[in-house]
Structure formats: C-alpha cells, structure tokens
Amino acid sequence: MPTPTTEPVNIQKQRRGFSRIWHAGRYSVEGLVAAIQESAAFRQEALLAVVLVPASFWLGQTWVETALLAAVVVLVLVAELLNTGIEAAIDRIGPEWHALSKMAKDVGSGAVLLCLLLCGGVWAAALYQRFVA
C-alpha cells in the first residue's frame, strides 16, 4: 500500500504572503482578459457596465442606492465569468453531448439570466422612482 505524501500536489499552493497575492492578482487579471477575448456575452455586459456603473452615481440619491445599482451590474459580470468558466471546463472534457454537460451549461446560463433580471428590475425601480413617482 503506497504511503501518503505530505507534499502538495500543486506547487502554487506553497506561495505565501506578497508572492501569493501577486500571483493571485495576476491570474485574476488574466481571467478577465480571457473572458473579454473569448466571450461575446461578457464583452456586451462589460460594455453595459462601463455605462451603468458611472450612471449609478448619477441615478442613486443615497450611497446605498448608488451601491445597489452598481452592485447588481457587477453581479451580472460575476455570474457571466462563472458561466464562462463552466462552459470552458465542459468544453475541455469533450465535444460529445452528455446530459450532465448540458445541465451544467444550462444552470450557469440560468444564473446569468436571474442576475440580468435582478439588475433590470433594480434599475427599472430606480428609474421609476427618480422620474415617475
């Protein structure tokens, strides 16, 4: 019977302190760049965020309203990043159709849809309050 080793499988897990923070930040930026390059949906939502996040400072009448308006936009981006990651992992496994692969992709897409609906609802309510009520 083989004896278990105490060495980590991934050498990256040994990083500590500033080195870990530096590498984690670099990987995060690389992830954003990959999403911009590879995902048309992320590019569209990011362009919308470039407009809506600054607009949240104009539309929000308190810091809480401003934060909520900006947060729901960022939440859409987060959901799209996770969905893109799920799709990349499933596509890496193979091109053949599988029920679990379809479910993973559909659930990720459903999460994005819910975030988009939440974002649209919050923004519609804020616009209604500001201009109609």
3-state secondary structure of 26: helix
Instruction: Select the more confidently predicted residue: 46 or 133.
Output: 46
Q: How far apart are CA 43 and CA 112, in angstroms?
A: 14
Look up residue 62 and give its two tokens.
């308190």
Q: How far apart are CA 86 and CA 110, in angstroms?
A: 12
Q: Quick check: 66 and 60 in contact, CB under 8 A? A: yes
Q: Where in the chain is the domain with CATH 1.10.287.3610?
A: 40-131
Q: How far apart are CA 57 and CA 1, in angstroms?
A: 63
Q: Which amino acid is at 4?
A: P
Look up residue 20 and give its two tokens.
């870990």
pLDDT tens digits along 73-132: 999 999 999 999 999 999 999 989 999 999 999 999 999 999 999 999 999 999 999 999
Supply the residues annotated as catalytic. 80
Q: How far apart are CA 123 and CA 126, in angstroms?
A: 5
CATH topology for 40-131 is Helix Hairpins (1.10.287)
Q: Which amino acid is at 95?
A: P
Look up residue 48 and give its two tokens.
């919308």
pLDDT tens digits along 20-46: 899 899 999 999 999 999 999 999 999
